[in-house]
């Protein structure tokens, strides 16, 4: 027995796990964008704490893949989660349409600089962390762009190049020899500090003030507008202030590129995380539904494994109830044999008058006790005046007279089944007795009126014809 009971014990259900390879397979079935597949292949290699959206549904990551949280491991919870992150509708809106092989997001990445005039809106939507990352310019990259700007693009002379590179050297090398008066040096330092963190620009990076980035980009746009109007191939930077202006143009071009690419990267990151979450949730939902179907099948098989006992017990109960009904019918026929012919005739007459078994209520009729005492008179052929009421009793106007009064145990069972208290049960019993008394009073009045009618119209007539004619006349009169 202990072994059997332990075998029937419900084993703890294993957590639902989504393999990473299954995520890639599902994505390859849903999209033709190679960039989405490549991005998702890289994303699933990242730790779970970097996937903020997926972390709200996944408890941890093991060797097999992502493990679903226990409080979400139900079909209903997963259905609600999938309703918030539907996969099919999202794929229709964000994946390749018709003959396109790339999604709109990655197709637009090639033409991101067509939206350069929207950099203000992009900059306003970025977080503080993104802004700080954009404002950090690589010193080596800036040096190459500056040299290309001075030589290949504008062909500046040596003196102009020195004025342009002076600002760069001032930002990268703090031990430069001082040139000019102290006031001039202070003005040069103030002009640099207005745009850059001079003291923080080290380790190969030049830090731009986040508040100064819009000013630098406006300066870059104005310079491009002047170049398009003048159509000049070369420019001059005769002073250090002019050299700083050329430096700001180069820095502005780098910052504009970083703003556009960073915004595009944030959009792609959001799309990839959304895609990953929707694919993982769809797999979790499919697994939960499969487990529920398997559990339902197992429970059905367990119920079907013991059909003989339950079926036999139901058949036995049905057979016992049928036997009891047959015995009750036999007893009723036995007692019915004692009824005289006159009373049977009165029963048929009352039936013709419209009385039936359905017209009675389920209360006990006190007149049933007088039926045995009046039956001998019926044998003599002289029917008493109250025979019609006794015939109504015989017709079972009261269903409880045929079923019998319930005992104390049956009444208690009924009370418990109806969930009624003892006081409430007693109140209903008293109410029932009052209604029963009123019904008995009405029946007595009906009996009395019928007797008076028989006395007025049935005096001196034979018993059978008297009863029949009296009953017909009474029925027509009332």
| Bridge partners, 61 (sequence order) | 66
In angstroms, the CA 79 to CA 82 distance is 5
Of the ranges 127-131, 157-161, 307-311, the best mean pLDDT one: 127-131
The confidence score (pLDDT) of residue 409 equals: 75
pLDDT at 4 over 50: no
> In the numeric block, which tokens belong to residue 423?
């006081």
How would residue 284 be classed by pLDDT, with cut points 50, 70 and 90?
very high
Q: What is the pLDDT of residue 160?
A: 85
Helix, strand or coil for residue 139? Answer: helix
Q: How confident is the model at residue 242 (pLDDT cuts 50, 70, 90)?
A: confident
Q: From residue 232, how far is each of 154, 215, 226 by CA, in Å?
A: 9, 24, 9
- Cα dihedral 278, 283, 285, 290, rounded to 10, equals 170
Mapping DSSP onto H, E and C, the string for 192-214 reads HHCCECCCCCCCCEEEECHHHHH
pLDDT above 70 covers what percent of the chain? Answer: 71
Question: 372 or 322, which is more confident?
Answer: 322
Tokens of 326: 């047959």
Token pair listed for 250: 């180069």
In this predicted structure, the answer to whether residue 446 has a pLDDT above a threshold of 90 is: no
Phi and psi based region of residue 180 (left: phi greater than 0; alpha: psi -120 to 50; beta: remaining): left
What pLDDT does 240 receive? 83
Cβ burial of 251 (10 Å; 0-12, 13-18, 19+) is buried
If one counts every other C-beta atom within 10 angstroms of the C-beta of residue 168, the result is 20
* Lowest mean pLDDT across 51-65, 160-174, 220-234, 262-276: 220-234
pLDDT value at residue 359: 42
pLDDT at 93 over 50: yes
Q: How far apart are CA 55 and CA 66, in angstroms?
A: 10
- Best-predicted range by mean pLDDT among 230-234, 312-316, 439-443? 439-443
Nearest CA to 392 out of 431, 425, 426, 439 is that of 439
Can you tell me which residue has the tokens 């494994």? Answer: 305
Token pair in block for residue 29 = 């079935």
Listed by start position, the domains of the chain span 17-114+267-290, 115-175+185-266, 339-477
Query: What band does 67 get if pLDDT is binned at 50, 70 and 90?
Result: very high
pLDDT tens per residue across span 181-200: 778 778 888 888 889 988 77
- The answer to whether residue 289 scores a pLDDT higher than 60 is yes
Give the Cα separation of 183 and 428 in Å (integer).
109
On the question of pLDDT at 94 being above 90, the answer is no
What pLDDT is attached to residue 10?
Answer: 45
């Amino acid at each position: 027995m202990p072994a059997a009971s332990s075998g029937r014990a419900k084993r703890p259900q294993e957590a639902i796990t989504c393999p990473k390879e299954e995520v890639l397979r599902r994505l390859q079935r849903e999209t033709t964008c190679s960039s989405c597949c490549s991005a998702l292949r890289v994303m699933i290699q990242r730790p779970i704490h970097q996937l903020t959206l997926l972390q709200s549904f996944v408890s941890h990551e093991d060797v097999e893949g992502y493990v679903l949280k226990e409080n979400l491991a139900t079909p209903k919870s997963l259905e609600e989660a999938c309703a918030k992150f539907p996969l099919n509708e999202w794929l229709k809106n964000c994946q390749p349409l018709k003959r396109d092989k790339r999604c709109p997001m990655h197709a637009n990445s090639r033409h991101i600089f067509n939206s350069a005039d929207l950099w203000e809106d992009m900059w306003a939507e970025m977080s503080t962390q993104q802004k700080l990352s954009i404002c950090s310019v690589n010193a080596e990259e800036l040096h190459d762009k500056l040299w290309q700007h001075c030589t290949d693009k504008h062909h500046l002379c040596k003196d102009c190049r020195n004025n342009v590179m002076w600002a760069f050297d001032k930002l990268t090398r703090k031990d430069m020899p001082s040139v000019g008066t102290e006031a001039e040096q202070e003005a040069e330092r103030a002009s640099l500090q207005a745009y850059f963190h001079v003291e923080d620009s080290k380790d190969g990076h030049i830090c731009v003030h986040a508040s100064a980035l819009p000013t630098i980009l406006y300066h870059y746009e104005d310079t491009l507008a002047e170049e398009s109007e003048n159509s000049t191939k070369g420019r001059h930077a005769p002073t250090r202030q002019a050299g700083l202006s050329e430096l700001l143009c180069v820095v502005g071009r780098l910052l504009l590129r970083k703003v556009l690419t960073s915004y595009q990267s944030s959009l792609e990151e959001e799309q990839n995380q959304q895609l990953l979450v929707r694919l993982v949730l769809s797999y979790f939902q499919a697994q939960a539904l499969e487990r529920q179907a398997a559990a339902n099948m197992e429970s059905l098989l367990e119920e079907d494994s013991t059909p003989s006992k339950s079926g036999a017990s139901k058949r036995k109960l049905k057979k016992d109830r049928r036997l009891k009904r047959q015995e009750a019918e036999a007893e009723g026929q036995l007692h019915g044999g004692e009824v005289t012919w006159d009373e049977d005739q009165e029963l048929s007459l009352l039936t013709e008058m419209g009385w039936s078994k359905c017209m009675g209520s389920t209360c006990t009729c006190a007149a049933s006790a007088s039926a045995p005492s009046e039956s001998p008179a019926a044998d003599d052929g002289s029917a008493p005046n109250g025979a019609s009421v006794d015939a109504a009793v015989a017709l079972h106007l009261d269903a409880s007279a045929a079923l019998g009064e319930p005992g104390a145990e049956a009444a208690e069972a009924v009370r418990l089944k109806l969930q009624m208290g003892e006081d409430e049960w007693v109140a209903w019993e008293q109410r029932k007795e009052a209604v029963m008394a009123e019904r008995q009073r009405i029946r007595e009045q009906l009996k009395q009126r019928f007797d008076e009618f028989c006395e007025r119209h049935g005096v001196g007539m034979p018993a059978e014809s008297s009863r029949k004619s009296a009953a017909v006349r009474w029925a027509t009169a009332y």
